[in-house]
Amino acid sequence: MADTVALRVQGLHKSFDRLVVLRGIDLDVGEHEVVCLIGASGSGKSTFLRCINLLETIDAGRIFIEGEEITATGVDVNRIRQRVGIVFQAFNLFPHMSVMRNVTLAPTEAIGMSRHDAEALAIELLERFGLADKRDEYPDRLSGGQQQRVAIVRALAMKPDVMLLDEVTSALDPELVAEVLNVIRELAAGGMTMVIATHEMGFARDIASRVCFLDEGVILEQGPPERIFADPQEERTRRFLQSIIEAGRM
């Protein structure tokens, strides 16, 4: 396998009871690549991301991170998850912990970093994303945009190889979306490999090196954003983009 492939997914299938969500997804993501997943609600974007992080047990297929198969039997799930950061739509910060502790919990408890080093790392990251003055606040006192930025910092503190972003702006008030998107832009500029499920088409066009259109559990069409958005080949892609335009979201 070429060493420039950060994430490789082969023939991924996943169903919940009788509901088939993913019916054979193949995807290679190169290092420093930013792949945006677009598609209607229920097309399987979130499930796909959760599978990559092993938050869902998959029914069939194989997943490799930096050449290592993480779906092989006997792999240490906790170690894999430390290499793949995920940020959720609903932030999911720990409400009983300060911002600082939210960020340092996993470094200290999952990989045994000293409290001192973890806090230094946290301060560095919080400063980078303009959150240094929030370090002692509790999540419920922050705006949605701030919470989501903290959630991104929390994932980054584990120094992941790949970041998965699951509709990270969908729960935000419109005026707070930009601050979160800017953080992601900065990550992309810094060379972070990312897979992003999003409804923000303008953002996807901006940031993606590749756009994948998911439909009924498969990647129906993929390509550079210019081509997908300007000249979609598939009828269903065209219809999806048309409905987005009609909704005034592009």
Q: Which is nearer to other proteins, 108 or 209 (CB)?
A: 108
Residue 45 binding other proteins, by CB under 8 A: no
Alpha carbon separation from 121 to 111, 186, 242 (Å, rounded): 14, 18, 44
Per-residue binding letters, 151-190, with other proteins (x by CB under 8 A) = x--xx--x------------x-------------------
Q: Which one of 3-11, 104-112, 198-206, 234-242 is the stretch in contact with other proteins (CB under 8 A)?
A: 104-112
**Phi, psi angle pair for 52, to nearest 5°:** -60, -30
Residue 143 binding other proteins, by CB under 8 A: yes
Q: List alpha helices for 72-173, DSSP H.
A: 77-83, 99-110, 115-128, 144-156
Question: Closest approach of Cβ 161 to other proteins, in Å?
Answer: 12
Question: Closest approach of Cβ 69 to other proteins, in Å?
Answer: 18
Question: Closest approach of Cβ 178 to other proteins, in Å?
Answer: 17
Closest CA to 213 of 31, 55, 25, 58: 25
Beta-bridge partner residues of 23: 13
Q: Rounded distance, CA 173 to CA 180, Å? A: 11
* Cα 137 versus chain centre, distance: 25
Tell me if residue 77 falls in helix, strand or coil: helix
Residue 55 binding other proteins, by CB under 8 A: yes
Of the residues 8, 45, 81, 210, which one makes contact with other proteins according to CB under 8 A: 81
Residue 209 binding other proteins, by CB under 8 A: no
Of the residues 115, 141, 159, 239, which one makes contact with other proteins according to CB under 8 A: 141
Q: Rounded distance, CA 219 to CA 15, Å? A: 16
Residue 95 binding other proteins, by CB under 8 A: yes
Residue 82 binding other proteins, by CB under 8 A: yes
Beta-bridge partner residues of 20: 15
What type of residue is 80? Answer: I
Residue 88 binding other proteins, by CB under 8 A: yes
Residue 75 binding other proteins, by CB under 8 A: no
* Cα 231 versus chain centre, distance: 26
Given the rule CB under 8 A, which residues bind other proteins? 53, 55, 78-79, 81-82, 85-86, 88-96, 105-106, 109-111, 138-144, 147, 151, 154-155, 158, 171
